[in-house]
Amino acid sequence: MVRAAALAAGIPHTAGASSVNRFCSSGLKAVQDIANQIQLGAIDVGVALGAELMSASGDRLDRPFNEEVLRNQEAADCMQPMGQTSENVGKDFDIPREQQDRYAAESFRRAEAAQNNGWLDDEIAPIAVKVKDPKTGEVKEVTLSRDDGIRPGTTFESLSKIRPAFPQFGDKSTGGNSSQVTDGAASVLLMRRSKAIELNQPILAKFCGATVAGVPPRVMGIGPTAAIPKLLSKFQLDKNDIDIYEINEAFASMAVYCVKNLGLDHAKVNPRGGAIALGHPLGATGARQIATILSEARRTKSKILVTSMCIGTGQGMAGLFVNEQL
């Protein structure tokens, strides 16, 4: 599928293609893989991209694991739906519904402000798609140039009226304080510095590296609290050295926990809103976060940047970037 898509996009057949899957971090993992190949000298240029058709899929495996695997409790916990893991985080770490709704309202407020101010414009490449009207069945072609998931005017009061999305597991996570179901794609072009200079291409940023860390699968949402400290330690940085954080808001429960547990200034985290407002197309998010954080860094003249996300089955990933658009 990836090979066919690459050829259809105009990439010559002489270039290779491969796919990678690490759930919510797949986009960042693709960036890391391309960077590793460049560093090893295998390639000079690579395109890392992520895409997801959430409207046609879900987060459950088609069938359970083998019985031997399920005898291990943590392995069995990997089967828990994401909504259940969100409720686990809310219960285990005492994060009340009100706190989650207030966090979600702020995510929507920031995203709406960013869109109204035109800050999202340079993140988005307009694309023509065919859309079928669910009522009439009429198919028409439209050009998408704006994120259509942001819900203007969303408030804490309106969010607090939404019923729980996973009542069989708890009463804190809702359709309003969880990342919405969204289709999406994003890509990042990486080059060896000398090649970019040779081709007279603008250098937007440097990718320094990424780390992965594991957490209990039943509370997979806390993954960034393991991945970010590991990343900062690797590069001998302090949390206060980072100018902007993009932490994926799979659910408000995990976002609230991560910001508090890591002791971060919320003003530095997702300044344009996060996945609660923008959506979380699993494979695309890791690449989308890079586009977002580099655009925001260019606007605010910020330098040291971190992206991070939790990963289904109990992992977290974090990437470090240095803005060169100062």
Residue 249 or 135, more confident: 249
Confidence band (pLDDT; 50, 70, 90) for 58?
Answer: low
Indicate which residue of 13, 24, 258, 266 is catalytic: 24
Asked if residue 16 is part of any domain, the answer here is: no
Asked if residue 3 is part of any domain, the answer here is: no
Which pLDDT score is estimated for 60?
56
> How many domains does the chain fold into?
1
Mean of the pLDDT values across residues 311-324?
98
Mean of the pLDDT values across residues 277-282?
96
- Catalytic site includes residue 280: yes
Which pLDDT score is estimated for 57?
66
Asked if residue 215 is part of any domain, the answer here is: yes
Amino acid in the structure at residue 210: A
Q: Is the pLDDT of residue 235 over 90?
A: yes
Residue 58 or 32, more confident: 32
- Could you list the residue range(s) of the whole structural domain that residue 54 is in? 24-58+72-323
Indicate which residue of 13, 208, 266, 310 is catalytic: 310
Q: Is the pLDDT of residue 245 over 80?
A: yes
Which pLDDT score is estimated for 54?
87
* % of the chain at pLDDT higher than 90: 90
Which pLDDT score is estimated for 59?
54
Classify residue 148 as exposed, middle or buried by CB count within 10 Å of its CB (0-12, 13-18, 19+): exposed
- Catalytic site includes residue 24: yes
Asked if residue 28 is part of any domain, the answer here is: yes
Mean of the pLDDT values across residues 88-107?
98
Asked if residue 9 is part of any domain, the answer here is: no
Residue 35 to residue 44: CA distance in whole angstroms: 9
Its pTM stands at 0.95
Asked if residue 232 is part of any domain, the answer here is: yes
Which pLDDT score is estimated for 274?
97
- Catalytic site includes residue 310: yes
Asked if residue 64 is part of any domain, the answer here is: no
Asked if residue 223 is part of any domain, the answer here is: yes
Q: Which of 19-33, 123-137, 264-278 has the least mean pLDDT?
A: 123-137
Indicate which residue of 13, 78, 266, 280 is catalytic: 280
Mean of the pLDDT values across residues 196-206?
98
Residue 211's domain is classified under what CATH number? 3.40.47.10
Residue 2 to residue 52: CA distance in whole angstroms: 12
Q: Is the pLDDT of residue 201 over 90?
A: yes
